Structure 1
Amino acid sequence: MSIETDIKQTTPFKTPYHRVMVNLMYTSNWVADAQMRVLKPFGLTLQQYNVLRILRGQYPNPVKVSDITERMLDKMSNASRLVDKLVAKKFVLRTECPSDRRAVDVVITDKGLSLLKRLDIHQADLDENHRSKLTEEEAVYLSQLLDKLRA
């Protein structure tokens, strides 16, 4: 289905560049919505899931909140607030950084790792859905084009 059909646009886009930008935004929201439907039963937001994945990638080493902020996909997220919510759910631990008392170290807990392991199964299902629509070569090429657009 074309972007024009999905957004019920009857007039042509001014340029192919305008079309691709609208298509990127629409598709990004479409992917995020599918991901949110997977996360909702687990009581997680996309941003909280992103923090947990960052922490899992560094496990067992702690990560400073400022480093989490730099690595977040959504740069508008408040990493400190997200960490607070994850601490309350016992998915992460927050401690004072021994080398810098003003900084806070965060590490994922076993409960957080277990949750991510369960979510990995759902992520594999989403990946399989995308695999049925794009070949591996197309996925690589699309990633290269997106990287080129951001360069």
Structure 2
Amino acid sequence: MILENEIGISAFRNEWQKASVSILYTYGFLSNGYESFFKQHGLTTQQYNALRILRDQFPKPVSTSFLREKMLDKMSDASRLVSRLGAKGLVEVTQNTADKRLVNIVISEEGQKVIGTIDKDLHQLDAVMQGLTEEEAKTLVELLYKVRESLKTADERIAAKEQVDADA
């Protein structure tokens, strides 16, 4: 009844609905905590995530589509994100010589410095999960993986049904 009281609902249809709502509700807390942390460094969570990906690829340039594919938030507008990072001098963007429709994105020296500074403080984010033991955290990671796999399977079933309906 704890979750029900926290969000003001009398009952859930079943434990699957309750689990889904609990994940969404918890995501709000995590998201707010992450946003507050990165705001101290003049970035959004998505901007940090993009810089993290670019640092891992450095010195190899990446495209906006590669960036979007690796982002935690798949709904991020990678082009706008790169523009904002470029305006802050944290990335360098050049035209792709092989395909003029694409751009090459590389983290800049300034971007490397910023992300290096943030790395020293990242342990602060671990505190949001300190209510769990390491073993519980490991179990949670495994359970969330199962949820993602279940979602992929559900998406595939829905897409297949939509295709059957469209063919009919």
Which residue identity is paired with 1:140?
Answer: K
Partner of residue 65, structure 1: 64
Over the aligned positions, Cα root-mean-square deviation in angstroms equals: 1.6
Residue aligned with 1:93, SS: strand
Partner of residue 147, structure 1: 145
Write out the 4+ residue segments of structure 1 that deviate beyond 4 Å after TM superposition. Answer: none
Checking the alignment, whether the CA contact within 8 Å between 1:61 and 1:107 is kept in structure 2 is yes
TM-score, normalization by structure 1: 0.90
Checking the alignment, whether the CA contact within 8 Å between 1:48 and 1:82 is kept in structure 2 is yes
CA deviation after TM superposition for structure 1 residue 6, in Å: 2.7
Partner of residue 77, structure 2: 78
Which stretch has the larger CA shift, 80-89 or 121-130? 121-130
**1:53-104 C-alpha deviation (Å, 9 max, x unpaired):** 1111111211111111111121221101110000000000001122322210
Distance in 1 separating the partners of 2:37 and 2:54: 20
Partner of residue 34, structure 2: 35
CA deviation after TM superposition for structure 1 residue 4, in Å: 2.6
Which residue identity is paired with 2:99?
Answer: D
Q: Please list every run of 5 or more consecutive structure 2 residues that lacks an aligned counterpart in the other structure.
A: 150-168
Which stretch has the larger CA shift, 54-63 or 120-129? 120-129
**1:18-73 C-alpha deviation (Å, 9 max, x unpaired):** 11111100111110100011111322112211111111111121111111111112
Checking the alignment, whether the CA contact within 8 Å between 1:54 and 1:68 is kept in structure 2 is yes
CA deviation after TM superposition for structure 1 residue 129, in Å: 4.0
Pair member with larger Rg: 2
Residue aligned with 2:122, SS: helix
Partner of residue 136, structure 1: 134
Partner of residue 7, structure 1: 7
Percentage identity across aligned positions?
Answer: 42
Distance in 2 separating the partners of 1:127 and 1:89: 27
Q: How many residues align?
A: 149
Checking the alignment, whether the CA contact within 8 Å between 1:55 and 1:63 is kept in structure 2 is yes
1:17 aligns with 2:16: yes
